Amino acid sequence: MLADRWWLGALVGLFIGGAFYLTCLPAPAPPPPPPDGLAALLHQVLPIWHGHVELARTQTQAAIDTLSARFAAINDRLGHSRQLSSEPREVRMQQLLHDADQQLATLAQALERILQSRQALQGKLEGLAAANDEIRQLALQNEQLAGQTGVSDLLSSEQSWQQLAQRAAANSRQIVLRTKAARQQIQAAVIAAAQLPDGADGVVENSRALIGQVLAGFGQAATALMATVDQMAAENRAVDQEVGEILVNLQFQDRIGQILEQLQGDIARLQASACEAALPSPQQWLAALEQTYTTPEQRQVHVGGGARLTPQAQVDFF
């Protein structure tokens, strides 16, 4: 009976051997699943979305880096400006004004002393002139008296002649006294006048030196102030440039917002389309996405380019 079933044993053996042979062979790669619409679409769209996210990330990073650097530069410049207008400089200016005030007060006192000496001398000279007038007057009276003692009057009355002689003698004594006093006044005036030029010369020299010092101090202060003003103006210009750069980089918010908004729109479109029976082809989808781009770098990303900012002319006039 077994002999009748020999073919069955051969068949089982063949089956086991074949199975053993098959398990020893390398497994063949599973065939790719037939691409359904969604998978094919994602295969093409996701790298572009990735590129746009990278573009937004790169632009954000670059703008923030630039803004940080500009703010740091402005901070440095403001610190420098604060140093330029710092307290020691103000204190030096106050000291300069105080010194100038004191020096000029000394000068004013010296000039006042000269003025007083001049007034004293003038008083002496006026007194001298008055004495001179009195002497001249007395001399004139004596001349008149001498005239009366002339031809007719001399012999007319002995009494009157004696009176005239007494008056002439009195006048002569007055003249002598006045002349003595005048001589003393002249000596005093000469002494005062002799003292005045020496003092005045010294005051003039000192005044010249003091005024020179004060002017030199103000000159140095003015030069320092001008240098500070120039530095402040240079700092102002530099800060203006930094602010200009900040204003440029703040505008990236608009670009980045636009890129992310378009990306959100495309994600929402895919979500809506995924529920539909027939998806558009990847080519149709990408063409529609490309229509939403506004910047050259988005178009670069779309064709597989890098997320690099394209320089372009800033203004076109029509």
Task: Considering only the stretches 8-16, 135-143, 172-180, 292-300, report the one whose residues sit in contact with another protein under the rule CB under 8 A.
Answer: 292-300
Task: Considering only the stretches 126-134, 163-171, 265-273, 308-316, report the one whose residues sit in contact with another protein under the rule CB under 8 A.
Answer: 308-316
CB closer to another protein, 9 vs 244: 244
| Residue 280 Cβ vs another protein, minimum distance, rounded to whole Å | 23
C-alpha 268/C-alpha 276 separation (Å) is: 13
Are 74 and 235 in contact, with CB atoms under 8 Å apart? no
CB closer to another protein, 3 vs 303: 303
Task: Considering only the stretches 34-42, 120-128, 225-233, 294-302, report the one whose residues sit in contact with another protein under the rule CB under 8 A.
Answer: 294-302
| Residue 260 Cβ vs another protein, minimum distance, rounded to whole Å | 13
Q: What φ, ψ does residue 125 adopt, rounded to 5°?
A: -65, -35
Binding track, positions 73-92, relative to another protein; x by CB under 8 A: --------------------
Which one of 83, 149, 283, 294 is in contact with another protein (CB under 8 A)? 294
CB closer to another protein, 22 vs 313: 313
CB closer to another protein, 252 vs 285: 252
C-alpha 271/C-alpha 268 separation (Å) is: 5
CB closer to another protein, 35 vs 244: 244
CB closer to another protein, 22 vs 315: 315
> Is 280 an interacting residue with respect to another protein (CB under 8 A)?
no
> Is 303 an interacting residue with respect to another protein (CB under 8 A)?
no
Beta carbons within 10 angstroms of residue 171's beta carbon: 19
| Residue 225 Cβ vs another protein, minimum distance, rounded to whole Å | 27
Binding track, positions 217-256, relative to another protein; x by CB under 8 A: ---------------------------x--xxxxxxxxx-
Q: For tokens 């031809």, what's the residue?
A: 151
CA torsion sign for 133, 136, 142, 148 is negative
Structure tokens that stand for 29 in this block: 């790669």
41 Cβ contact partners less than 8 Å away, ≥ 6 residues apart:
270, 279, 280, 281, 282, 285
| Residue 247 Cβ vs another protein, minimum distance, rounded to whole Å | 5
C-alpha 197/C-alpha 205 separation (Å) is: 12
| Residue 254 Cβ vs another protein, minimum distance, rounded to whole Å | 5
As a residue count, the chain comes to: 318
First-last CA distance in the chain: 106
Q: In terms of Cα–Cα distance, which of 49, 41, 27 is closest to 302?
A: 49
Are 314 and 78 in contact, with CB atoms under 8 Å apart? no
C-alpha 33/C-alpha 220 separation (Å) is: 89
Q: In terms of Cα–Cα distance, which of 249, 241, 227, 253 is closest to 74?
A: 241
Number of residues located near another protein, criterion CB under 8 A? 22
What are the residues binding another protein (CB under 8 A)? 244, 247-255, 257-258, 294-296, 312-318
